[in-house]
Structure 1
Amino acid sequence: MPETRPPIDLQGISLADLGRLVAERKLPPVDRWNPTHCGDSGMRIARDGTWFHDGRPIERVAMVRLFATILRREPDGSHVLVTPVEKLTIAVDGTAFRAVEMTSEGEGRDRTIGLALDSGDALIVGPDHPLTVVPSPTGPSPRVVVRHGLEAELTRPVYYELAELALAEGAHPPGIWSCGIFFPLGDEQ
């Protein structure tokens, strides 16, 4: 089954239109599929977002986007690729996705933030997609919840853009508002 959904582009799009596009995207109901575990997929998502199969990078971007739609995180923290008839483990070095671009409308409590992911999807930071900063082996890791237990780590430029907005608004502790919720940007250690 070929992946036919084009990636969402944040350029020149309002957050209202982004919300509509996100709502219209139909993803497989992986949260409702519970087949027997079949083994290991031989796949890995590297910390930088590169997908590998049997140690070789997957170069077809559409194939990676397709696999991303059937990815979920299990309650034990492991990641799996799941279809109605099989479930295969996939290794994930950090987070499954990266937030690679952001857009913002409004100021302070009235701000809304949209993020584009390296999977071609997008989201709006808020109650369904909270932003956190968690400790990691490489230092504080700013992350946003995507879906089905999956997270996206914010790339450095996106995090700096958020931090710049937070510092300009002078909140203490430094943080950012989106959809009426305040998200601290400091390490929660």
Structure 2
Amino acid sequence: MAPSPDFDTLTMADIARLAEADRLPPVDRWNPDHCGNSDMRIARDGTWFHLGSPIGRLAMVRAFSRILRREPDGGYVLVTPVEKLDIEVEDAPFIAVEMKVEGDGAAASLAFRLNTGDIVTASADHPLRFVEHADGPHPYLHVRGGLEALIARSIYYELAERAISGNDDPPGVWSAGAFFPIAP
């Protein structure tokens, strides 16, 4: 597996090219019989566990993340052409750990690097949403097929600052021509 490029040095055009070149397996077309439980869990902080022990190799986490699918009942499975295994997800299966911004206001683009190395630009196809919980707001980015990334708290503060400094009512952020209010 090639090392991930330095996110800080990428332009939005670079990010678009990387996203286009990143072909995922067709997990939405695989429908094997259910085979059981994977004995895996994704913690709220994005750590992947197998049999209670953290999976320390990013390459393994990335490989598993590419065969992760959200089921119509809201559950999560790891799926291949021949088996489907349940996996427990405490909040969201991904964490947005870094954000890159180009432009301002309605001309802004916000790209996020996930804990798996994937890069997603917020847009109408990859919306941001903000959910209020007892412990404060939880911001999410749609990644693919019903899978979301919880946005790290430090990045949420950057988003909130952008929203407050803008002139939009309600306050929110723009990315790739789409507007996302920060209040739920």
TM over 0.5: yes
Q: Is the Cα–Cα contact under 8 Å of residues 6 and 120 in structure 1 kept in the other structure?
A: no
**Deviation, structure 1 residue 5:** 5.0
* Separation in 2, partners of 1:153, 1:143: 5
TM-score, normalised relative to structure 2: 0.96
* Separation in 2, partners of 1:82, 1:129: 23
The SS at the match of 1:177 is strand
Determine which of 158, 164, 171 is the counterpart of 1:167: 164
**Deviation, structure 1 residue 145:** 0.5
Runs of 4+ in 1 over 6 A off after TM superposition: none
After superposition, residues 110-189 of structure 1 pair within 5 angstroms as: 110-136=107-133, 138-186=135-183, 188=184
The SS at the match of 2:110 is strand
Tell me the residue number matched to 1:16.
13
Q: Is 1:26 matched up with 2:26?
A: no
Structure 1 unaligned segments of length 5 or more: list them.
none
Amino acid corresponding to residue 180 of structure 1 in structure 2:
G
Determine which of 36, 45, 48 is the counterpart of 1:48: 45
The SS at the match of 2:7 is coil
* Separation in 2, partners of 1:49, 1:133: 18
The SS at the match of 1:146 is strand
**Deviation, structure 1 residue 69:** 0.5
Larger strand proportion, structure 1 or 2?
A: 2
Amino acid corresponding to residue 166 of structure 1 in structure 2:
A
Amino acid corresponding to residue 164 of structure 2 in structure 1:
L
The SS at the match of 2:61 is helix
* Separation in 1, partners of 2:131, 2:32: 32
CA RMSD in angstroms, aligned pairs only: 1.2
Amino acid corresponding to residue 172 of structure 1 in structure 2:
D
TM-score, normalised relative to structure 1: 0.93
**Deviation, structure 1 residue 144:** 0.7
* Separation in 1, partners of 2:163, 2:76: 33
Structure 2 unaligned segments of length 5 or more: list them.
none
**Deviation, structure 1 residue 137:** 5.5
**What percentage of aligned pairs have identical amino acids?**
54
The SS at the match of 1:11 is helix
CA offset digits 1:39-64 (Å, max 9, x no partner): 00000000001110011111111101
Determine which of 53, 72, 76 is the counterpart of 2:73: 76
* Separation in 2, partners of 1:5, 1:35: 31
